[in-house]
Chains A and B, each alone.
Chain A
Amino acid sequence: MAISLEQMVSLAGIAGEVMLKNGAETYRIEATMDHMAKACGASKVESFVIPTGVFLTVTDEVGRTLTVMRRVRNRTINLDRISKVNELSRRLVAQRIEYEDAKRILEGISKERTGFSLLPSMLASGAIGGGTAVLQNALFFEIAAAFTAAMIVRYIAHLVSKLRGVQFTFEFLGGMAVALCGVLLHSLWPHLRPDAVIIGGIMPLVPGVAITNAIRDVIAGDLLSGLSRGLEAALTSVAVAMGVVIVLSFKV
């Protein structure tokens, strides 16, 4: 069964869009789109991905060419989806799956709710904060406060994403909330230090995906994406630091 040019382009385009939306590296998105389109019978594929959009040009055996562009606005982090699209692309290349099934699975991946709901992610965030406080040799109540602060951070993330806040709002507000928790604890019980609470609380705000992708994009030679993701990581860190600094300077 022959797959039409439009179908190839739409399949590879959706795959690229899903991967970019969920935080994959640039070269992985480009390679996945190339592989998927070639597995469907394209003779030539050119792809170009930047952190805010996907461009794809496919040529079929007859020599017809089609280009699509997909703009990606709201990006989240969901490594599960990336790994699923990766798996799907491998199966498609190995010819273990038909076009219709691939398309259906891909649309399922882009719509399904994966991962954990609010409470488990709050607990996970709290565990990051509490664990970091343990590494700082904190006292028991400081660890508990760090756990709470990190949980609040996750709740703020939930609120901000619901209200479609601009970028860096969440990091700034998170830093402020954490510092407030630390300062509040110190003023209520002066023998407890705010240090471990704040250090633990800002840990879930570390832009892990941005840092990793920036490094890996630069290694792969995607300098444009590498630079912009590096800048994203730097600005995120600055937003967190400013949130903390502003609250701390009230205290002094």
Chain B
Amino acid sequence: MLALKIMAVLLISVSVGILYRIPRRLLIYVSFVGVVAWLIMYNTMRLGGSGILADFLASVAVGIMSEILARVLKKPATIFIIPGFIPLVPGGDAYMTMLYMVEGHYVDGVAKGMQTILTAGAIAFGIFVSSTIFQLIKNYNLESRWQDVRKS
């Protein structure tokens, strides 16, 4: 069952890559990012972590892998981020929210909607955190290089 799900995640990442027209030879890297991120999310949930924590850790991983791949392959990081995080999107929660709202269970609907928004926020902030870390590393390197120039 797990193998089937990993295949599904692989398929999703590659298909998102095709849909957003990323360069074809990068599809393999993209599918790798997607599968690793999804496995992190799956295992965090299996070990008892909440959906929010799981999505946050997974999207930090997406961000870090994307920034590294972007620097190694000299391509925009966006190419790797988008297919990486699509399998993490809380589609099930969003659907349950809509269903509760339609059926008139507004309390359940608002609770589920809040959970959906927080999970989506966790994904966004995971990418935010990893991109910020890379920005800081880059600035640190620039700073030290500048100081070297000043010394010499």
Q: How far is the CB of B119 from chain A (nearest CB, A)?
A: 13
In the complex where A202-B91, A211-B124 touch, is A77 in contact with B131 (Cβ < 8 A)?
Answer: no
Bound Cα distance from A203 to B99, whole angstroms: 17
In the complex where A202-B95, A219-B131 touch, is A121 in contact with B79 (Cβ < 8 A)?
Answer: no
A25 partner residues in chain B, CB cutoff 8 A:
76, 78
A212 and B103 within 8 A (CB)? no
In the complex where A28-B76, A135-B5 touch, is A208 in contact with B16 (Cβ < 8 A)?
Answer: yes
A86 partner residues in chain B, CB cutoff 8 A:
74-76
Q: Identify which of A49-57, A62-70, A163-171, A242-250 touches chain B.
A: A242-250
> Is A198 engaged at the interface, CB distance under 8 Å to the other chain?
yes
Bound Cα distance from A198 to B99, whole angstroms: 11
A77 partner residues in chain B, CB cutoff 8 A:
20-21
Q: How far is the CB of B10 from chain A (nearest CB, A)?
A: 8
Please give me the residue from chain A that is nearest to B42 by CB atom: A135
In the complex where A241-B94, A244-B98 touch, is A208 in contact with B5 (Cβ < 8 A)?
Answer: no
> Is B127 engaged at the interface, CB distance under 8 Å to the other chain?
yes
B128 and A215 within 8 A (CB)? yes
The A-contacting residues of B in range 63-80, CB under 8 angstroms, are 74-79
Question: Which residue from B18, B76, B94, B135 sits with its C-beta under 8 Å from A121?
Answer: B18
Bound Cα distance from A79 to B79, whole angstroms: 7
B118 partner residues in chain A, CB cutoff 8 A:
none
Q: How far is the CB of B130 from chain A (nearest CB, A)?
A: 10
Bound Cα distance from A79 to B70, whole angstroms: 13
In the complex where A120-B18, A127-B11, A252-B103 touch, is A82 in contact with B76 (Cβ < 8 A)?
Answer: yes
Q: How far is the CB of B32 from chain A (nearest CB, A)?
A: 16
In the complex where A86-B76, A199-B92, A252-B103 touch, is A79 in contact with B8 (Cβ < 8 A)?
Answer: no
A209 partner residues in chain B, CB cutoff 8 A:
20, 78, 82
Bound Cα distance from A12 to B25, whole angstroms: 27
The B-contacting residues of A in range 82-125, CB under 8 angstroms, are 82-83, 86-87, 90, 114-116, 120-121, 123-125
Please give me the residue from chain A that is nearest to B99 by CB atom: A248
B86 and A215 within 8 A (CB)? no
Q: How far is the CB of A79 from chain B (nearest CB, A)?
A: 5
A80 and B23 within 8 A (CB)? yes
Q: How far is the CB of B126 from chain A (nearest CB, A)?
A: 10
Contact with B along A184-219 (1 / 0, CB 8 A): 000000000001001110111010110111111011
B81 partner residues in chain A, CB cutoff 8 A:
212
> Is A36 engaged at the interface, CB distance under 8 Å to the other chain?
no
B82 and A212 within 8 A (CB)? yes
Q: How far is the CB of B74 from chain A (nearest CB, A)?
A: 7
B102 and A83 within 8 A (CB)? no
Bound Cα distance from A218 to B89, whole angstroms: 21
Known: A78-B21, A114-B21, A208-B16; 12 extra A-B contacts, CB below 8 A, are A82-B78, A86-B76, A124-B14, A128-B15, A130-B8, A154-B19, A206-B89, A208-B85, A209-B78, A216-B77, A244-B98, A245-B98
